[in-house]
């Protein structure tokens, strides 16, 4: 009886581990997709892995110091060619919303946003998922020359 119970537990662990391996977020391929299509006159600054851990992590936030009078572009990619499901919100140091990649009224997802910084400081890039079953994406922060 103990052998049967032990075998059943071992099989359950094997199948759980196997299923979670397929759910891993491979954001690197989306980063490469963005970098392969960088606009002329931009400099790569940083890439971000947006891993919602299968829906367990609905929001992912990263800080970055922006410099006054500099123009930044934040590009996003996921497995959907129309970028459905990934929302970027940019906040200033006081947590005021500056811009978003999602048009809620038209329910349209944009591939990113641009911002000309008015004051040097910490800014927050907050990523979330809207109506998506795929919780994996990538973003790239660029400086426009």
Residues 85-113 pLDDT 10s: 999 999 999 999 999 999 989 989 999 99
- The answer, yes or no, to whether residue 131 has pLDDT greater than 60, is yes
Lowest mean pLDDT among 3-7, 19-23, 101-105: 19-23
| 34/72 Cα distance (integer angstroms) | 15
Cα 55–chain centre separation: 13
Give the tens place of pLDDT for each residue, 63-80: 999 999 999 999 999 998
Q: For position 96, what pLDDT does the model report?
A: 98
Q: What is the 3-state secondary structure (H, E, C) of the chain?
A: CHHHHHHHHHHHHHHHHHHHHHCCCCCHHHHHHHHCCCCCCEEEEEEEEEECHHHCCCEEEEEEEECCCCEEEEEEECCCCCCCCEEEEEECCCCCEEEECEECCCCEECCEEEEECCCCEEEEEEEEECCCCCCEEEEEEEEEC
Q: For position 98, what pLDDT does the model report?
A: 98
């Amino acid at each position: 009886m103990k052998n049967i119970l032990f075998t059943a537990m071992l099989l359950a662990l094997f199948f759980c581990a196997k299923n979670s391996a397929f759910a891993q977020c491979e954001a690197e391929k989306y980063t490469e997709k963005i970098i392969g299509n960088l606009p002329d006159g931009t400099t790569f600054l940083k890439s971000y892995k947006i891993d919602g851990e299968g829906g367990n992590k609905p929001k992912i936030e990263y800080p970055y110091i922006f410099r006054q009078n500099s123009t930044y572009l934040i590009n996003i990619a996921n497995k959907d060619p129309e970028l459905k499901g990934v929302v970027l919100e940019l906040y200033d140091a006081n947590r005021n919303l500056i811009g978003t990649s999602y048009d809620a009224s038209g329910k349209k997802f944009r591939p990113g946003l641009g911002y000309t910084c008015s004051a040097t400081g910490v800014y927050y890039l907050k990523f979330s998922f809207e109506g998506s079953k795929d919780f994996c994406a990538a973003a790239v922060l660029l400086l426009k020359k």
